[in-house]
């Protein structure tokens, strides 16, 4: 069996349980003082890579976790290593990168690090674009399996859906071990990839609030109210 | 070229500026033309393609519909009659029947090059989500996903953070690739005028796909399609198990003529197939009536249904967040309320 050299990209995002608030300037979502975590879909990718190694211990030779983002994304990479990734690479930048730019960075990493399988989350829960994996597959000319619920031919790009697996919790010993695993930081500029923004954010607003219409006493009341509202 | 090579640097700069100017002008005068990539199955256009045509017309230029696959030519006749369609392009090749991104995206790229399209639009469906980003990378453009509003030919509105924020973005790319949210645009209707011309495309690169179609396992349903139904009844964890889901939800759905949906909790617990999941990671619906049964209303679920016209909820927890968005709420045990509601609706039919 071909040796698997896996790349797992992870993103640091606002924790999925936090309700995001638009900032006062309407330029984006407030992130200062907000709990950040690994994008939930990326946990599934790490988990899948680690499970592949558990099933085929000699086939999976290396699991590299990658992130592009601020220095704090190191925490996310440490989490990935605590879950079982062998090492990590951070492309450091303080600007928000668009999916196309991330796909180009990943293309470079795939070449530099000689990867033959990339497992990504199917979307990040902040941008909700759902593009990076497919873009990467297009740039590499590799096969793509999106929204995978069961893991095919190599080399390939696979994007993980929520039902793929249940990610493990990192145990304390593994968190301690992860601190000793290698994490390399490089500036985004060092990758020699064009990462300029193609989209300009004109504004970000809260959606029009929806007001609850109150409660009814019984099933009869429910039907009567739905009729009033023209829904029946 | 020879001239600029020998010219002094000042002249060279001026020539370069003039070329850039000419290019910008050419772009400005380049007429807007949109390629609408449509989905079909078993000889019929799929309903999610109808709002794509409407969105395409909002961009302001001509709209060319593209259909690929064995049945492309027969479906083209249906599409040609729709309002707003200027031309229908068909790529009659069975290689595209399974919509594999590996050969579909290069085929689209060829057609965009041949037709000089300025915009490419598809549904933000499983099809669009799979193929359009690959196409975007081939074209070297930043796609805009899940568009809910079109301001002008380069400014678009889309939800981010599971619909908790709405972003307006302006694209500087030469070709704009968009996937659109079907529930945000009305379906294109059949027009009274003459049908658009249908033409077989000569742009088919016939790229070999590195992935092959093995099989598909579709959830079968006699009920309306969840994505386009006017009424949806959705069940959650409150139903406790699959037996209850199967016993209570189908009769209620049938009494209302509704599609059945489910929360992630219900899908994860095996009560319902994951094709029924409504939410950030499932389908986004916006029916006339959304009835949530035993669903607490997590933000990931609300992301999939909060644009419904009327939301009704039955939940025994009076503090469940679903009541904050529901137009009508009933605090009750669903095991008695749902059968009672089903009977009442049936008797009123």
What pLDDT, on the 0 to 100 scale, is given for residue B229? 86
In terms of CA atoms, which chain A residue is nearest residue B179? Answer: A129
Looking only at the bridges linking them, the beta strands covering B310-315 and A199-205 are unpaired
Beta carbons within 8 Å of A212's beta carbon, 6+ residues apart: B323, B324, B325, B326, B327, B329
d(CA B58, CA B52): 10
d(CA A48, CA B221): 32
Beta carbons within 8 Å of B140's beta carbon, 6+ residues apart: A100
- Over range A70-91, report the average pLDDT: 98
pLDDT surpasses 80 at A92: yes
Beta carbons within 8 Å of A201's beta carbon, 6+ residues apart: A27, A28, B167, B168, B169
Optimal mutation site among A131, A132, A163, interface B, most CBs of chain B within 10 A = A131
Which has more pLDDT, B348 or B312? B312
Mean pLDDT, chain A, whole residue set: 93
Q: How far is CA A60 from CA A8, A81, A121, A232, B263, in A?
A: 13, 15, 19, 57, 36
- B207 has a chain A CB within 8 A of its CB: no
Residue with tokens 């645009």: B185
d(CA B146, CA B290): 21
pLDDT in tens, B8-26: 444 444 444 445 445 444 4
β partners of residue B153: none
What pLDDT, on the 0 to 100 scale, is given for residue A23? 94
Residue with tokens 């009508």: B328
Q: DSSP for B121-137?
A: EEESSHHHHHHHHHHHH
Q: How far is the alpha carbon of B289 from chain A, nearest alpha carbon, in Å?
A: 6
Q: Helices B126-139 and A132-140 sit at what angle, rounded to 10 degrees?
A: 50
**Contact between A90 and A113 (Cβ < 8 Å):** no
pLDDT band at A13 (very low <50, low <70, confident <90, very high): very high
pLDDT band at B174 (very low <50, low <70, confident <90, very high): very high
Neighbours of B213 (CB within 10 A): 10
pLDDT in tens, B294-336: 999 998 899 899 989 999 999 999 999 999 999 999 999 999 9
What pLDDT, on the 0 to 100 scale, is given for residue A142? 93
pTM exceeds cut of 0.90 = no
pLDDT in tens, B16-55: 444 544 544 444 556 899 999 999 999 999 999 999 999 9
The helix/strand/coil state of B179 is: strand
Structure tokens at B320: 């469940």
The helix/strand/coil state of B76 is: helix
In terms of CA atoms, which chain B residue is nearest residue A121? Answer: B281
Q: How far is the alpha carbon of B215 from chain A, nearest alpha carbon, in Å?
A: 13
How many helices (H) and strands (E) in chain A?
A: 6, 11
User: In this complex, which of A130, A134, A207 lies closest to B101 when CB atoms are compared?
Assistant: A134
pLDDT surpasses 50 at B7: no
In terms of CA atoms, which chain A residue is nearest residue B167? Answer: A204
Cβ neighbours of B280 in A, within 8 Å: 125, 128
Mean pLDDT, chain B, whole residue set: 89
Dihedral angle at the C-alpha atoms of A8, A123, A17, A32, nearest 10 degrees?
80
CB pairs under 8 A between A and B: 207
CB-count exposure of residue A162 (10 Å: 0-12, 13-18, 19+):
buried
pLDDT band at B4 (very low <50, low <70, confident <90, very high): very low
């Amino acid at each position: 069996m071909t040796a698997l050299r896996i790349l797992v990209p992870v993103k640091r995002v606002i924790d999925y349980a936090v309700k995001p608030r638009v900032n006062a300037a309407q330029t984006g979502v407030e992130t200062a003082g907000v709990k950040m975590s690994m994008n939930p879909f990326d946990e599934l990718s790490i988990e899948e890579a680690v499970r592949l190694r558990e099933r085929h211990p000699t086939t999976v030779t290396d699991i590299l976790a990658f992130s592009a983002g601020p220095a704090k994304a190191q925490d996310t990479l440490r989490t990935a290593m605590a879950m079982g990734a062998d090492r990590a690479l951070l492309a450091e930048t303080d600007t928000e990168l668009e999916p196309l730019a991330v796909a180009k960075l990943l293309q470079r990493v795939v070449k530099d690090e000689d990867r033959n399988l990339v497992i990504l989350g199917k979307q990040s829960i902040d941008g909700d674009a759902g593009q990076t994996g497919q873009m990467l597959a297009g740039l590499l000319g590799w096969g793509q399996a999106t929204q995978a619920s069961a893991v095919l031919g190599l080399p390939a790009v696979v994007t993980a859906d929520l039902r793929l697996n249940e990610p493990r919790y990192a145990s304390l010993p593994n968190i301690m071990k992860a601190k000793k695993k290698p994490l390399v930081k490089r500036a985004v500029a060092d990758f020699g990839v064009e990462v300029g923004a193609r989209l300009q954010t004109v504004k970000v607003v809260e959606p029009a609030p929806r007001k609850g219409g109150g409660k009814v006493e019984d099933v009869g009341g429910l039907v009567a109210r739905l009729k009033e509202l023209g829904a029946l | 070229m020879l001239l600029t090579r020998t010219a002094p640097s000042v002249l060279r700069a001026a020539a370069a500026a003039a070329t850039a100017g000419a290019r910008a002008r050419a772009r400005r005068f380049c007429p807007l033309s949109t390629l609408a990539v449509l989905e079909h199955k078993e000889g019929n256009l799929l309903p999610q393609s109808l709002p794509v045509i409407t969105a395409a017309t909002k961009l302001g230029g001509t709209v060319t519909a593209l259909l690929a696959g064995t049945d492309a030519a027969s479906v083209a006749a249906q599409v040609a009659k729709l309002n707003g369609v200027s031309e229908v392009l068909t790529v009659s090749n069975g290689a595209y029947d399974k919509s594999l991104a590996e050969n579909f995206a290069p085929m689209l790229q060829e057609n965009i090059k041949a037709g000089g399209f300025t915009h490419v639009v598809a549904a933000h469906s499983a099809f669009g989500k799979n193929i359009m980003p690959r196409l975007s990378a081939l074209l070297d453009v930043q796609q805009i996903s899940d568009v809910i509003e079109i301001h002008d030919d380069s400014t678009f509105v889309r939800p981010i953070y599971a619909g908790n924020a709405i972003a307006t973005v302006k694209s500087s790319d030469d070709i704009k690739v968009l996937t659109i949210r079907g529930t945000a645009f009305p379906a294109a209707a059949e027009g009274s005028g003459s049908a658009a011309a249908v033409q077989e495309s000569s742009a088919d690169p016939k790229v070999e796909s590195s992935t092959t179609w093995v099989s598909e396992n579709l959830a079968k349903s006699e009920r309306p399609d969840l994505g386009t139904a006017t009424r949806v009844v959705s069940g959650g964890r409150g139903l406790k198990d699959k037996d209850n889901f199967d016993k209570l939800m189908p009769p209620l759905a049938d009494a209302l003529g509704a599609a059945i949906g489910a929360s992630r909790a219900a899908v994860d617990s095996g009560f319902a197939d994951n094709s029924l999941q409504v939410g950030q990671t499932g389908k986004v619906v916006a029916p006339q009536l959304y009835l949530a049964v035993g669903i607490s209303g997590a933000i990931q679920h609300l992301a999939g249904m909060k644009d419904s016209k009327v939301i009704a909820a039955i939940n025994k927890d009076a503090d469940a967040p679903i009541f904050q968005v529901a137009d009508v709420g009933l605090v009750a045990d669903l095991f008695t309320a749902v059968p009672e509601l089903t009977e009442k609706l049936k008797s009123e039919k």
